[in-house]
Amino acid sequence: MRYLPDGEHRHRFLAAVRATGLSLEELWLRYFGLGGDAGKIEIDAYLSGLAPLSSLQHDLLAHAINERLDEIAPPRAPYAEELPRNSDSPPPTEYEFDTGDGPDATPGTDAARD
């Protein structure tokens, strides 16, 4: 058994916990659903640095945290290998960038200088 060590590892782990926006109860339910066997009080003590968890239990807790972060993460841009290769696919829709030239400016023009 080991405590959540001080230093960068602990800082990153606790930052991830905070980023989930989960309460202790919600985090514990996710952890328990993955097969974790520590109680809420044990998880709270571990996160506070007061009690140890085995490596397996730590990893189950980390997995519960990372699953939540995956749920709330913004969409990611696909790489070319992820794009459909079917020629029947519709073309992507146009995206207009906000150029900051005002609400009536057409992207890519110099309307603001006229």
What's the whole-model pTM score? 0.65
60 and 35 Cβ atoms separated by less than 8 Å: yes
Domain that holds residue 27: 8-72
**Within a domain: 98:** no
**Within a domain: 94:** no
pLDDT computed for residue 111 by the predictor: 46
| 3-state class (DSSP) for residue 102 | coil
**Within a domain: 100:** no
10 and 59 Cβ atoms separated by less than 8 Å: no
Instruction: Give the chain's domain count.
Output: 1
pLDDT tens per residue across span 58-80: 999 999 999 999 999 988 888 88
pLDDT tens per residue across span 96-109: 666 666 555 545 54
